[in-house]
Amino acid sequence: MSTRWGFFRSALALSPLLVGFPLLSNWKHYDLPKPIADVIDNVTNVPQVSEYAILEHARYLSEDVGYRTVGTREHALGDAWMVQQAYALQTLCEEAVSAEPGRKLECEVWHQVGSGSHRFDILGKRLYKTYVNLTNIVVRISDGTPAGKKHAALANSHLDSTLPSPGAADDAIAVGALIEAARTLIATRGWEPHHALILLFNNAEESLQDGSHLFATAHPIRNTVRAVINLEAAGTSGPSLLFQATSSAMVAAYAQVPRPFGTIVAHDVFSSGIIMSDTDFRQFELYLGVPGLDIAIVGHGYFYHTRKDRVQYIEAGVAQHMGETAYALLKFLASKESPLLELSGGHEKPQTVFFSFLGAFFIKYSFATAISLHAVLFAASIALISSTPTSVSASVAVLEKKGAENIRRKVPEVSAPSNIGISIFKGILLLSTACLAAVLSANMVALFMVHVLDRPLSWYKAELSCLLLYGPPAFTGALASLNFLGPLFFPTSTNNISNTERTLLQSVLLSYIVIASVVQLAGIGSAVLLTMTAGALLTGLLFDRARGGNRVSLGTYALGQTTPLFFGTELFSTLTDIFVPLSGRMGAEAPAENLVASLTVFSAAYSAPLLLPFFARFGSVILKRALLILTLVTAATITIFSQRDPFDVMHPKRVFVVYNENITTNAVSLGVGTSDIAPGFNTFVQDIAVFLANTSRVGNTGATLKVNTTPMRVEMHEYNGDWDVLYPFSAFLSPYEIALEPYVSAYALGGDPEKTFTVRAINDVVDAAAATRSLTLIIDHPGLIWTTIAFDAHVLSWSLDDDPPTKHARHFVKEASFYGEDKWSIDLVISLHDLPSSSPSSPENMKDPEELVRPHALRVNFVGVQEAAMWPGKAADKAKGGRAMALLEELDAWLEERSQGAVDAMLLGCVGGVIDV
Ligand SMILES: *[C@@H]1O[C@H](CO)[C@@H](O)[C@H](O)[C@H]1NC(C)=O
Ligand SMILES: *[C@@H]1O[C@H](CO)[C@@H](O)[C@H](O)[C@H]1NC(C)=O
Ligand SMILES: *[C@@H]1O[C@H](CO)[C@@H](O)[C@H](O)[C@H]1NC(C)=O
Ligand SMILES: *[C@@H]1O[C@H](CO)[C@@H](O)[C@H](O)[C@H]1NC(C)=O
Ligand SMILES: [Zn+2]
């Protein structure tokens, strides 16, 4: 190209790529299969997975049954429904066999009931879970022979839903998908499983994985499990994402699904723990030691664990995608080609790089291949760079010596390696500075939004919009570095513009390939992102080299930007799908704004690796103009974004309300917390207090309510007994407390003994010589669920596990049990050394300190949720919830009106106290 195109013409020429690739990538990212209604194809008569059937199951569970919180009546109804479904599958099996005599197919059903306890560390806290008579429904599909049952693939979903949610996506849709996948397989004529499939419909995941613990530690067929597939949901739209894969053979199995959607990057992000969440997968890994695949719906995470997790909000095609994925995996794992027998080695850190592409391709290769690939890319890059002529003045000089040396005319001069080395080093320094400047400028804007304007989370309603706010400052920072350092590093006296441009291109290439190699050598498969870019850049530069000439061709940019644009868009969509909704539940103190700003810069930098060379191409006038424009754009977007409210009906704010009756002090209070950094929460709580003060009657109970109208900010620590129901998540809520008029709770001692919430000790023996006290702590909690106790002691041994902390510590034990189970216990042997030998100072306002306090007493905080007082889960039966429920109902109606539906509140009626035993 002899005529040199200017900036605008060049940018225009590249724009189809710059716009088209991200659009294509984004479209494919969210693309879903067409929902199918019929359970049998009406033309071919072949059974098929039907979204309609899956959603019917999800609708039944989430609407006809409702909020299936562990321990509630609805939870028991969900259990009963699933038992019926399991037997229906068994009947289907039997009918299929009688229709096709000789077909090797058997379905067995278990209704597992069991009690247990397990340690469950979460959010950096050591926690124990106990459970009484929780249930699982298990269906095994096999060929009916012992050999066929010897090795099985486990597929898991959970029936229960979390405290404030009907759980249509989380996880009823997965329950439906497994039922539907099983139905399709059984109904397929001639299909016989070579290896068994175990479908686990576990009925306690949200209470911290008790159901999967029960299966993995106590079910008679648990030891036949070789691999697990876990289906989950943290959102309501888009394809189901493969986000954990713990064996290469299982990654290979995933290649069988019709529409693969998953990448090692998601795996690495999830396993880093930054998402602060966990699935049943953990129990199978811990107690069965098997590898597997963890798959979840992640799009539109705003309704995750809210009351809006309803079928009506689930995007069309989501269920179809999950159902077809489950079906394909189960079919493959049950087949003769199944990798189940190779999987005896347990789970492993991934050794396979994998990613899906355009929703149709699934690419995977081993880490060893990745390392070789990097070696090849590196060698090729070095060869290319060292053979590329850098000095235009040199070739011009050659041309000028007309006729003298005709050979040298054709061979442009190659400058000395050390010169190239120094230039590239400067190039890399410039690029690193630009990246740093981009991160800093975006984060400065983030701090400005939070601390100066007080407008954090302005991008919350639209996942991708953070690019508009943080892209411009990031680019400003990067280009400013080029503007200031460029002339310093590459003075025009010794270099011309084309040289600088080419050197920068080579620096980008080398940086990517070196970082990719280092990351891959560290065992992190996400290096593939960098490999992709390096590959594209190398292609672009090879093209440039082959083409020859002084100017770098625009074609080099077109080629070099292909994979970065493609995978960058994918990366950005995945990260924002996860982290933008997450910023609404990360806690009121979390650096959510900076996190989102940083990941935006990260994705933008990844998507535009050739930004600096491109600007270097046009010289400083264009660069300065671009800087001016970007600065203006930054100011404009800050202004526009600062006008935006973070929340609306489709992206509600999460609020946590705990109405607490203290049966030790008779104090009644309303705790109100939030889990995001949006401003104005203080005013919000003040308004609640005013509203309550103005509400002279509570519902139709006739009770009057007086309010101490100044809500107190509660400092969270391990002794806020009234927040223990939500421990350790309570640490994220920065709650306020509004004191209400005291009264004697229906659960208090001295009332109906059938209804009294107590903690007591039996088998109580003090061994003075050994300085120990052994006891069985009994917790009676009629009508209360999710009870938690907390106490300080040096525990020497207990019935929870073999390994209590070896020193005096605060212990938290949480319970979740089946509907109607109202008693649990733990055995303890504690050291007397740090228990009070006489009366410890009793909490203020205690009813009767004399009675409560005794020598060697163990002070136990206890709290639970009233099964009948959870709004809106128990709205259909609200009369049973008494005062608490009446107040929560009124409060919810008021919140709904005040926020115009932009608040999703979890409202719990709790009861608790403290006692010395
Ligand atoms: C078969 O099913 C499709 C899709 O549900 C429908 O459009 C079509 O009319 C059906 N054909 C017959 C012959 O029933
Ligand atoms: C569990 O249920 C069974 C049967 O209903 C009952 O006998 C038992 O006492 C319950 N509790 C525990 C702790 O197993
Ligand atoms: C208090 O209640 C009265 C009557 O229902 C209403 O008119 C008034 O606006 C309320 N005030 C506040 C601050 O909510
Ligand atoms: C009840 O009040 C006592 C005394 O103030 C306190 O220590 C305890 O944490 C409270 N418990 C609950 C559940 O409110
Ligand atoms: Zn779930």
pLDDT digits (tens, 9 = 90+) for 802-849: 889 999 999 999 999 999 999 999 999 999 887 665 544 545 444 444
176-185 pLDDT, tens digit each: 999 999 999 9
With cut-offs at 50, 70 and 90, classify the pLDDT of residue 708.
Answer: low
Nearest CA to ligand 4 atom 1: 913
Mean pLDDT of 635-659: 96
1-10, 55-64, 154-163: lowest mean pLDDT where? 1-10
Q: Are 363 and 357 in contact (CB under 8 A)?
A: yes
Q: How many CA atoms lie within 13 A of 168 on its CB side?
A: 24
* Cα separation, 339 vs 442, whole angstroms: 47
CB atoms within 10 A of CB 885: 26
Residue 42 beta carbon below 6 angstroms from any ligand 1 atom? yes
* Partner residues linked to 655 by β-bridges: 674, 905
Residue 40 beta carbon below 6 angstroms from any ligand 1 atom? no
Q: Which two tokens stand for residue 769?
A: 């010589």
User: Would you state the pLDDT for residue 411?
Assistant: 43
Task: Using the mean position of ligand 4's atoms as its centre, give its distance from the Cα of residue 911 in Å.
Answer: 10
Task: Using the mean position of ligand 5's atoms as its centre, give its distance from the Cα of residue 718 in Å.
Answer: 27
* Token pair 């990031």 in the structure block, residue: 474
Widest CA span in the chain: 114
* Token pair 């990941």 in the structure block, residue: 599
Task: Using the mean position of ligand 3's atoms as its centre, give its distance from the Cα of residue 690 in Å.
Answer: 9
Task: Using the mean position of ligand 3's atoms as its centre, give its distance from the Cα of residue 695 in Å.
Answer: 8
User: Would you state the pLDDT for residue 706?
Assistant: 66
Catalytic residue among 51, 74, 180, 205: 205
Q: Which ligand is nearest to the CA of 134?
A: 2
Mean predicted lDDT score pLDDT of the chain: 90
Task: Using the mean position of ligand 1's atoms as its centre, give its distance from the Cα of residue 37 in Å.
Answer: 10
* Cα separation, 906 vs 205, whole angstroms: 19
Nearest CA to ligand 3 atom 14: 691
Residue 639 beta carbon below 6 angstroms from any ligand 3 atom? no
Region class of 289: left (phi > 0), else alpha (psi between -120 and 50), else beta: left
Q: Which two tokens stand for residue 828?
A: 């303890």
555-589 pLDDT, tens digit each: 999 999 999 999 999 999 999 999 999 999 999 88
SS3 (DSSP) at 62: helix
What is the number of the ligand 4 atom nearest to the C-alpha of 913?
A: 11
What is the number of the ligand 2 atom nearest to the C-alpha of 133?
A: 1
* Cα separation, 307 vs 873, whole angstroms: 8
839-886 pLDDT, tens digit each: 445 454 444 444 444 678 899 999 999 999 999 999 999 999 988 998
Among 111, 133, 781, 826, residue to substitute to test ligand 2 (most atoms within 8 Å of Cβ) = 133
User: Would you state the pLDDT for residue 905?
Assistant: 96
Whether 418 has a pLDDT exceeding 70, the answer reads no
More confident residue, 402 or 79: 79
With cut-offs at 50, 70 and 90, classify the pLDDT of residue 402.
Answer: very low
Q: Are 819 and 75 in contact (CB under 8 A)?
A: yes
Whether 401 has a pLDDT exceeding 80, the answer reads no
Q: Are 464 and 579 in contact (CB under 8 A)?
A: no
* Cα separation, 463 vs 457, whole angstroms: 11
Mean pLDDT of 726-739: 89
User: Which residues have C-beta within 8 Å of that of residue 256, sequence separation ≥ 6?
Assistant: 328, 329, 331, 332
Q: Which two tokens stand for residue 562?
A: 């292909």
At 366, which helix (H) or strand (E)?
Answer: strand 361-366
What is the number of the ligand 3 atom nearest to the C-alpha of 690?
A: 13
Nearest CA to ligand 2 atom 7: 133
Mean pLDDT of 261-270: 92
3-state helix, strand, coil in the chain (%, to 5): 45, 20, 30
With cut-offs at 50, 70 and 90, classify the pLDDT of residue 410.
Answer: very low
Active site residue 570: no
Residue 694 beta carbon below 6 angstroms from any ligand 3 atom? yes
User: Would you state the pLDDT for residue 837?
Assistant: 56
Mean pLDDT of 741-763: 89
* Cα separation, 170 vs 303, whole angstroms: 10
Q: Which ligand is nearest to the CA of 849?
A: 4
Domains assigned to the chain: 7-26+369-641 (no CATH), 31-350 (3.40.630.10), 653-748+868-916 (no CATH), 758-860 (no CATH)
Among 38, 42, 49, 50, residue to substitute to test ligand 1 (most atoms within 8 Å of Cβ) = 42
Give the CA-trace dihedral at 351, 353, 356, 357, to 10 degrees.
-170
At 600, which helix (H) or strand (E)?
Answer: helix 592-607
With cut-offs at 50, 70 and 90, classify the pLDDT of residue 493.
Answer: low
159-173, 483-497, 607-621: lowest mean pLDDT where? 483-497
Task: Using the mean position of ligand 2's atoms as its centre, give its distance from the Cα of residue 133 in Å.
Answer: 6
pTM: 0.92
Residue 38 beta carbon below 6 angstroms from any ligand 1 atom? yes
Share of residues in the chain with pLDDT > 90 (%)? 74
Task: Using the mean position of ligand 2's atoms as its centre, give its distance from the Cα of residue 786 in Å.
Answer: 18
Q: Which two tokens stand for residue 630?
A: 């970007």
Mean pLDDT of 290-294: 94
User: Would you state the pLDDT for residue 390?
Assistant: 60
Nearest CA to ligand 1 atom 1: 42
Choose among 237, 293, 162, 316: nearest CA to 578. Answer: 237
With cut-offs at 50, 70 and 90, classify the pLDDT of residue 361.
Answer: confident
Q: Which ligand is nearest to the CA of 817?
A: 2
What is the number of the ligand 3 atom nearest to the C-alpha of 694?
A: 1
Mean pLDDT of 226-235: 96
* Cα separation, 6 vs 917, whole angstroms: 83
Whether 453 has a pLDDT exceeding 50, the answer reads yes
Task: Using the mean position of ligand 3's atoms as its centre, give its distance from the Cα of residue 697 in Å.
Answer: 13
Residue 45 beta carbon below 6 angstroms from any ligand 1 atom? no
265-274, 413-422, 665-674, 887-896: lowest mean pLDDT where? 413-422
User: Which residues have C-beta within 8 Å of that of residue 696, sequence separation ≥ 6?
Assistant: 704, 705
* Cα separation, 866 vs 883, whole angstroms: 11
Whether 617 has a pLDDT exceeding 70, the answer reads yes
With cut-offs at 50, 70 and 90, classify the pLDDT of residue 400.
Answer: very low
Residue 132 beta carbon below 6 angstroms from any ligand 2 atom? yes
Q: Which ligand is nearest to the CA of 156?
A: 5
Whether 709 has a pLDDT exceeding 80, the answer reads no
197-201, 444-448, 702-706, 832-836: lowest mean pLDDT where? 702-706
User: Would you state the pLDDT for residue 850?
Assistant: 44
Among 727, 861, 862, residue to substitute to test ligand 4 (most atoms within 8 Å of Cβ) = 861
Mean pLDDT of 202-207: 96
* Cα separation, 428 vs 422, whole angstroms: 10
Residue 762 beta carbon below 6 angstroms from any ligand 3 atom? no
Residue 214 beta carbon below 6 angstroms from any ligand 2 atom? no
Q: Which of 181-190, 261-270, 795-804 has the highest mean pLDDT?
A: 181-190
